[in-house]
Amino acid sequence: MTQDEWLKGKAAVVGIGHTAYGRRGQFVERGSFSLVIEAVQKACDDAGIDPRDIDGWTSYSNDVNQGGLLAAAFGTKRLRFTGMGWGGGGGAMGGAYLYAAMAVATGQADYVAVVRGVTMPDNGRFGRMGTTEGPPYGLMTPGQAFALAARRHMYRFGTTTDDFAQIAINARLMASKNPDARFRDTITLEDHHNSPIICDPLHKLDFCMESEFGTCVILTSAERAKDLKQPPVSLLSAAMGAPPRWGDAMFGGWGGGDENVGGQYAPDDDYVTGGHRTVAEDLYAKAGLGPNDVDVAEIYDHFTPMVIMGIEDFQFCKKGEGGGFVSDGKIGLGPGQLPLNTHGGNLAEVYAHGMTHVFEAVRQIRGTSYNQVPDAEVALVVAGASMAPTSAMLFGK
């Protein structure tokens, strides 16, 4: 099913803001609400607006920093809109932007702030799931769940752990130019080989590291955006969803279904994806664009294999050919390459659940990235491969 282009270009990002990026536990005493407030102030400074004019708030992944509380804290003149994207992980991030865009495009709000803030006691461990007593089959982490998808991809398509390594190598290379990044040392294939195996086939360097942060992105209508401080970055498309029977396919029943029985029931062809097949179709249809129009791709990289699957899901190569794509030199900043995770991503910049992928897309379109792609006009942001819904966005001039 295709969808029309009604929303294309009707909303724009006008401000981005974030705190320093911390390791797990670093900002525990301060708390995530304080971090989000700082991020909102910085995003308003970036946009040149008064925080009291933000009349809508959205977020995802059951973020604890509620819009209503933020509105009260800032003295919002007239709160008009809030929205929360269901689901754990970073899957619904694009949904939070879709709600914001629909709200400003239809006059439900003037300025909507998408926020996400995490310190671990507020939100629990992001790298863990399950109960204190231990699950019956020993599945305790997202890393283990995604290792199952990675293994199936290897089995079906011959993908290798060296292919996974290319994603980590690229992330560190990009982060080496990014002063905000947590992990700025470059790594080699040998470093990846020597990195300890956490859950086979995944090495430690295939994992992002839990982080603490406050982040904010402000959207308004294309009309209002024209008169603000920054050149507007247009939201060309946002899509959320999942293929049939996806549910919490990756997680063996965690979250939605019966957590202790577990069911990984997605069709085989969808099992070896990030759950993004239908989202990609809708995303491109709603923008009237395709993969050949994308100048830079910021793909959620909690675990390296999911980036390879994302490259496939968003049609930069055929299904199953993503491993070869990344190992044959098709990612990078050179001619004919796909610029990928040009900020360093979750793996090397900060694990901010996708918000910094949006920041980087905005910087690329503004022309202010640390790893600027010349004349970047269309930037893809893919939210976390996760339980349903997953999501994605296209940004442009």
Partner 1 sequence: MSERMPGFGAPHLTALNEGYWKAAGQGRLVIQRCDDCGTHRHVPVEICYQCHSRNWHWDEVPGTGRVFSYTWVDRPLSPELAQAGVYNISVVELDGVVGTIRLLTNVFGVDKDTLECDLPVKVAFDRVDDEIALPVFEPAFALNEAERVSAGKVSA
The catalytic site residues sit at 300, 351
Is 194 a binder of partner 1 (CB under 8 A)?
Answer: no
Nearer to partner 1, 151 or 184 (CB): 151
Instruction: Tell whether residue 200 is a contact of partner 1 (CB under 8 A).
Output: yes
Name the residue nearer to partner 1 (CB basis): 94 or 243: 243
Pick 23 or 125: Cβ nearer partner 1: 125
Q: How far is the CB of 243 from partner 1 (least distance, A)?
A: 13
Smallest separation, CB 96 to partner 1 (Å)? 28
Count of residues in contact with partner 1, rule CB under 8 A: 39
Torsions phi, psi for 283 (to 5 deg): -60, -50
Which residues does 331 contact at the CB level (< 8 Å), separation at least 6?
Answer: 166, 170, 311, 325, 337, 338, 339, 340
**Is residue 201 a contact point for partner 1 (CB under 8 A)?**
yes
Contact stretch for partner 1 (CB under 8 A) within 24-32, 49-57, 140-148, 285-293: 140-148
Q: Out of 48, 136, 329, 367, which residue is the one contacting partner 1 (CB under 8 A)?
A: 136
Whose Cβ is closer to partner 1: residue 173's or residue 387's? 387
DSSP secondary structure of 47-81:
HT--GGG--EEEEETT-SS-HHHHHHHHT-S---E
Position among 7, 139, 187, 235 found at the interface with partner 1 (CB under 8 A): 139
Going by the DSSP 8-state scheme, the letter that residue 84 receives in this structure is E
Report, in Å, the least distance between residue 246 CB and partner 1: 12
Chain-centre distance for alpha carbon 108: 25
Q: How far is the CB of 255 from partner 1 (least distance, A)?
A: 11
Residue the block writes with tokens 């282009």: 5
Binders in 230-289 for partner 1, by CB under 8 A: 245, 252-253, 257-265, 267, 271
Tokens 């279904």 found at: 257
**C-beta neighbour count of 227 within 10 angstroms:** 10
Instruction: For the CB of residue 279, give the shortest distance to partner 1 in the complex, in Å.
Output: 20
Tokens, residue 169 = 């190598």
**Alpha carbons within 13 A on the beta-carbon side of 278:** 14
Contacts (CB under 8 A) with partner 1, residues 154-193: 155
Nearest Cα residue to 14 out of 38, 59, 37, 45:
45
218 near partner 1 (CB under 8 A): no
Q: Are 348 and 183 a contacting pair, CB within 8 Å? A: yes
Which residue stretch of 95-103, 195-203, 306-314, 321-329 sits at the interface with partner 1 (rule: CB under 8 A)?
A: 195-203
Q: Is 152 in the site for partner 1 (CB under 8 A)?
A: yes
- Residue 147 as a binder of partner 1 (CB under 8 A): the answer is yes
Contact 31, 119 (CB under 8 A): yes
Q: Is 69 in the site for partner 1 (CB under 8 A)?
A: no
Strand-strand pairing, 22-23 and 296-299 = unpaired
Residue 180, CA distances (Å) to 28, 77, 133, 342 in order: 20, 34, 38, 13
Q: 74 to 93, contacts with partner 1 by CB under 8 A?
A: none
Q: What's the min distance (Å) between Cβ of 147 and partner 1? A: 4
Give contact residues for partner 1 (rule: CB under 8 A): 128, 131, 133-141, 144, 147-149, 151-152, 155, 196-202, 245, 252-253, 257-265, 267, 271
